[in-house]
């Protein structure tokens, strides 16, 4: 028999093709083939919210090819990604190819390994209509919100704006945080600490002021008067040890990654934006070319909020931990993590598919970014299965004339999981990893008299909450139940791309456009930008997936109140036109001397002269990529051509350096030239020097020869 297996991407097709025989043909759908039309709502609201799907423009030839291949095959399997979106793509494929969706034609696997792929093919199932309905509900709901509210914003603010169900809430979070910062009133407080010496060991240490003797909680010193009062009381006093508490503190490892924690940690540790993290993770999941092994899927599915781990993976981790680190590094009982309430358990947590493929073994086979992210995932998973770190902790209460100072210290006595991985939030382990003893105290005993060295007091002020960065915004979205693993990164990318929020030194700051749009949304569509309302809607969509609700009933419940809000807003706003003041830059227009302002165009933000129409000067915003020009040493900047194609050039206009492919800081191992990165067709890293033949695949292939001319 002949079989046709349809997946979503060519790289996934290559990997799967290695595990199936010659009677299997593997084709890629290149994502969705059908969607709602862009030119109209595409939803018949009066007819039970019937969606009107059409073939996506440009996909016609591919659809024709897949139809021909399906007719030739004795059996068709749909092996798109194992989530709502993947299920919907399979359903659309079944519709287009005339397949019976009630037949077992759907194949899924959480990891792309030989065992998982063969098991998936052996155990096909019918398309899960509940998953499809959940995706349809989300898609139709988002379309209604976007296509109904956006025209209100066009009339009131400016053309081209858009409202989105999740993006509007994310923008509101950033706007509300900025308002909180602006309205913050700092409160004064004072820190008091004392330097003391233990006569026994002649070691100096520091103790912080706690409270008067007998107080049940720590005192906040509110002003200089109170600080001076305390200083006066303890100056010249005897300092003696009132009590010492010693204990052993065990710290458990963090759970393996889920989508949100992977995006957060990759942001902190690797400087990856969430979109980049998911792109690199997709490559690792679908398959990377490893010399001697071919295309190998290196991690499990990366869109998940489950902390479940298979027994096989846990056993493999145990064997590696015991053999590499020793029996004492494996806990008495295997570690099992529980996901938060409402998490979907369809997939495992994100982990390496083969723990024996350590980062060191793969370093020469992976691109720089692939290696960094794989190492992060591998180390986090192995650490998650290891024994706890153990710290010796000491807390001493020190009395001086009726006042208590506290000194605390801890020392790492068994590294446990920290031998492999330390989380960004793991402050104890971070300190230990850097080779510092954790404020370790000298040997102290009750009644010991201590030698006074110096006392310090410092005026402090409470600080406003920090602005969000991409990682903390995603964390907040997850904690509030807004969106799902597949939507976090696109949501953050969207609100930046549409000019509602700007990224400044990794911090997210709302623009005046974002603030004005949020104000209109709060005043007229409060439910849409309400955090709890949006979280509750996510729960209802999950109930559709679980079969507890019909997707049309969810939309019906939503649409009645929404339609009323829409009519009220249109009546209230009428022909009101709100102008957004231009944000001034520090760039001076070279034609007329005015300070240029930021504008939002079809292709993003740009600089324009405020003297329009007398002066029509515009400029693209310079985006440095952190790489120096090989010709003159100046910064290389990212630019766009008139056809909106990205290219890279030296910031100096008289320098001739220009490349279509992205320059990197990597040097060619053969000739020392600059390495360029081609990320579209023929994905690879290659030497810029035309006389050098060094190159390697971005998907992890080793070095290969190429001709030195004819590059595009």
- Looking at 384, 414, 447, the residue that finishes a domain is 384
Sign of the four-CA dihedral 502, 507, 510, 511: negative
Q: Give the pLDDT confidence of 56-86 residue by residue, as tens digits.
A: 999 999 999 999 999 999 999 999 999 999 9
Q: Classify residue 468 by its DSSP letter.
A: P
CB atoms within 10 A of CB 199: 11
Are both 498 and 485 inside the same structural domain? Answer: yes
Q: Span 552-561, mean pLDDT?
A: 94
Check residue 693 and give its pLDDT.
Answer: 87
SS3 of the chain: helix, strand, coil, percent, to 5: 35, 25, 40
Q: Give the pLDDT confidence of 440-468 residue by residue, as tens digits.
A: 789 999 999 999 999 999 999 999 999 99
Asked if residue 535 lies in contact with residue 526, where contact means CB atoms within 8 angstroms, the answer is no
Are both 470 and 539 inside the same structural domain? Answer: yes
Check residue 314 and give its pLDDT.
Answer: 96
Are both 247 and 394 inside the same structural domain? Answer: yes
Q: Span 467-474, mean pLDDT?
A: 95
Split into its structural domains, the chain has a count of 7
Are both 362 and 274 inside the same structural domain? Answer: yes
Check residue 701 and give its pLDDT.
Answer: 38
Q: Go through 273-295 and write b for each residue having 16 or more CB atoms within 10 A of its CB, e for each that does not.
A: bbbbbbebbbbbbbbbbbeeeeb
Q: Span 343-370, mean pLDDT?
A: 89
For residue 575, pLDDT beyond 80: no
Are both 406 and 356 inside the same structural domain? Answer: no
Are both 100 and 205 inside the same structural domain? Answer: no
Tell me the two tokens of residue 2.
Answer: 């002949």
Question: Which residues, including other chains, have CB under 8 Å from residue 110's CB and lie 6 or more apart?
Answer: 82, 116, 300, 301, 347, 348
Q: Give the pLDDT confidence of 283-297 residue by residue, as tens digits.
A: 999 999 888 888 899
- Looking at 573, 593, 612, the residue that finishes a domain is 573
Give the domain CATH number at 167: 1.10.460.10
Are both 7 and 112 inside the same structural domain? Answer: yes
Q: Which of 10-14, 234-238, 421-425 has the lowest mean pLDDT?
A: 421-425
Q: Which of 154-168, 233-247, 436-450 has the lowest mean pLDDT?
A: 436-450
How sure is the predictor about 41, in pLDDT bands with cuts at 50, 70 and 90?
Answer: very high
Are both 551 and 569 inside the same structural domain? Answer: yes
Tell me the two tokens of residue 370.
Answer: 């692939």
Selecting among 24, 254, 285, 301, the annotated active-site residue is 301
Tell me how far apart the alpha carbons of residues 194 and 210 are, in angstroms, rounded to a whole number.
11
The better pLDDT of the pair 328, 680 is held by 328
Are both 142 and 121 inside the same structural domain? Answer: no
Asked if residue 196 lies in contact with residue 204, where contact means CB atoms within 8 angstroms, the answer is yes
Give the domain CATH number at 73: 3.40.50.140
How sure is the predictor about 566, in pLDDT bands with cuts at 50, 70 and 90?
Answer: very high
Q: Give the pLDDT confidence of 329-351 residue by residue, as tens digits.
A: 999 999 999 877 656 656 899 99
Are both 71 and 18 inside the same structural domain? Answer: yes
DSSP secondary structure letters along 351-404? -BS-TTS-HHHHGGGS-HHHHHHHHHHHHHHHHHTSPPEEEEEEEEEEEETTEE
Q: Span 601-609, mean pLDDT?
A: 76
301 counts as catalytic: yes
Are both 17 and 46 inside the same structural domain? Answer: yes
Q: Residue 198's beta-bridge partner residues?
A: 203
How sure is the predictor about 432, in pLDDT bands with cuts at 50, 70 and 90?
Answer: low
Q: Interior CA angle at 317 toward 313 and 322, to 5°?
A: 150
The pairing of beta strand 595-601 with beta strand 604-608: antiparallel
| Domain extent for 490 | 136-183+466-573
How much of the chain exceeds pLDDT 90, in percent?
Answer: 74
For residue 644, pLDDT beyond 70: no
Q: Give the pLDDT confidence of 509-536 residue by residue, as tens digits.
A: 998 889 999 999 999 999 999 999 999 9
Which parts of 88-140 are beta strand (E)?
Answer: none
The better pLDDT of the pair 126, 680 is held by 126
How sure is the predictor about 706, in pLDDT bands with cuts at 50, 70 and 90?
Answer: very low
The pairing of beta strand 288-290 with beta strand 294-296: antiparallel
Give the domain CATH number at 361: 1.10.290.10
**Sheet with 75-78, edge to edge strand ranges:** 24-28, 3-7, 75-78
Q: Which of 52-56, 221-225, 647-651 has the lowest mean pLDDT?
A: 647-651
φ, ψ at 265 (rounded to 5°): -70, -35
Check residue 621 and give its pLDDT.
Answer: 79
Are both 380 and 263 inside the same structural domain? Answer: yes
Q: Span 568-577, mean pLDDT?
A: 84
Q: Span 486-510, mean pLDDT?
A: 90
- Looking at 433, 461, 489, the residue that finishes a domain is 461
Check residue 712 and give its pLDDT.
Answer: 28
Tell me how far apart the alpha carbons of residues 568 and 562 are, in angstroms, rounded to a whole number.
10
Q: Span 274-279, mean pLDDT?
A: 94
For residue 709, pLDDT beyond 60: no
- The mean pLDDT of the chain is 90
């Amino acid at each position: 028999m002949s079989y046709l297996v349809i997946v979503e991407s060519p790289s996934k097709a290559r990997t799967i093709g290695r595990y199936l025989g010659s009677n299997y043909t593997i084709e890629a759908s290149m994502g969705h083939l059908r969607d709602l039309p862009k030119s109209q709502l595409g939803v018949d609201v009066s007819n039970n919210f019937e969606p009107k799907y059409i073939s996506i423009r440009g996909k016609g030839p591919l659809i024709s090819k897949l139809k021909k291949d399906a007719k030739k095959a004795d059996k068709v399997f749909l092996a798109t990604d194992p989530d709502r979106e993947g299920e919907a793509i399979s359903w659309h494929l079944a519709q287009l190819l005339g397949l019976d969706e009630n037949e077992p034609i759907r194949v899924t696997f959480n990891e792309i390994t030989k065992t998982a792929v063969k098991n998936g093919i052996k155990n096909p199932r019918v398309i899960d209509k509940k998953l499809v309905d959940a995706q349809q509900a989300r898609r139709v709901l988002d379309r209604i919100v976007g296509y109904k509210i956006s025209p209100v914003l066009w009339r009131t603010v400016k053309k081209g704006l858009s409202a989105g169900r999740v993006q509007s809430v994310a923008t509101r979070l950033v706007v509300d945080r900025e308002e909180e910062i602006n309205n913050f009133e700092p409160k004064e407080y004072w820190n008091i600490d004392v330097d003391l010496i233990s006569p026994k060991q002649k070691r100096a240490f520091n103790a912080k002021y706690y409270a008067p003797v007998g107080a049940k909680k720590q005192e906040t010193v509110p002003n200089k008067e109170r600080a001076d009062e305390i200083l006066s009381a303890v100056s010249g006093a005897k300092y003696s040890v009132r009590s010492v508490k010693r204990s052993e503190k065990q710290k458990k490892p963090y759970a393996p990654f889920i989508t949100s924690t992977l995006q957060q940690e990759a942001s902190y540790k690797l400087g990856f934006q969430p979109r980049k993290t998911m792109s690199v993770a997709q490559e690792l999941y679908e398959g990377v070319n490893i010399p001697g092994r071919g295309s190998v899927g290196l991690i499990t599915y990366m869109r998940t909020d489950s902390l479940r781990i298979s027994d096989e993976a846990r056993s493999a981790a145990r064997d590696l931990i015991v053999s590499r680190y020793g029996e004492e590094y494996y806990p008495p009982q295997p570690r099992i993590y529980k996901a938060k309430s409402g998490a979907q358990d369809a997939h495992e947590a994100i982990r390496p598919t083969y723990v024996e493929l350590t980062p060191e073994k793969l370093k020469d086979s992976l691109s720089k970014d692939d290696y960094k992210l794989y190492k992060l995932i591998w180390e986090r998973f192995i650490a998650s299965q290891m024994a706890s770190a153990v710290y010796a902790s000491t807390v001493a209460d020190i009395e001086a004339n009726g006042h208590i100072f506290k000194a605390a210290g801890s020392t790492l006595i068994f590294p446990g999981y920290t031998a492999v991985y330390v989380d960004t939030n793991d402050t104890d382990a971070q300190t230990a990893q850097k080779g510092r003893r954790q404020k370790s105290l000298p040997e102290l005993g009750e009644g010991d008299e201590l030698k006074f060295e110096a006392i310090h007091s410092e005026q402090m002020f409470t600080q406003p909450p920090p602005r969000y960065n991409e990682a903390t915004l995603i964390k907040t979205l997850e904690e509030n139940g807004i969106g799902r693993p597949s939507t976090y990164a696109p949501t953050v990318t969207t609100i930046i791309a549409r000019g509602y929020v700007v990224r400044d030194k990794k911090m997210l700051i709302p623009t005046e456009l974002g603030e004005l749009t949020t104000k209109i949304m709060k005043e007229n569509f409060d439910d849409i930008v309400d955090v709890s309302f949006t979280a509750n809607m996510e729960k209802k969509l999950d109930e559709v997936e679980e079969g507890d609700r019909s997707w049309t009933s969810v939309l019906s419940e939503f649409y009645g109140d929404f339609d009323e809000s829409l009519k009220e807003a249109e009546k209230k706003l009428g022909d009101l036109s709100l102008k957004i003041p231009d944000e001034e830059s520090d760039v001076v227009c070279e034609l007329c001397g005015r300070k240029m302002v930021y504008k939002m165009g079809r292709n993003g933000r740009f600089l324009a002269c405020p003297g329009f129409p007398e002066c029509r000067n515009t400029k693209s915003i310079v985006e440095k990529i952190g790489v120096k020009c090989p010709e003159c040493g100046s910064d290389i900047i990212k630019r766009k051509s008139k056809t909106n194609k990205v290219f890279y050039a030296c910031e100096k206009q008289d320098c001739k350096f220009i490349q279509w492919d992205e320059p990197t800081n990597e040097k060619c191992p053969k000739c020392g030239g600059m390495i360029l990165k081609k990320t579209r067709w023929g994905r690879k890293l290659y030497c810029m020097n035309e006389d050098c033949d060094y190159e390697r695949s971005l998907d992890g292939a080793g070095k290969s020869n190429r001709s030195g001319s004819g590059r595009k």
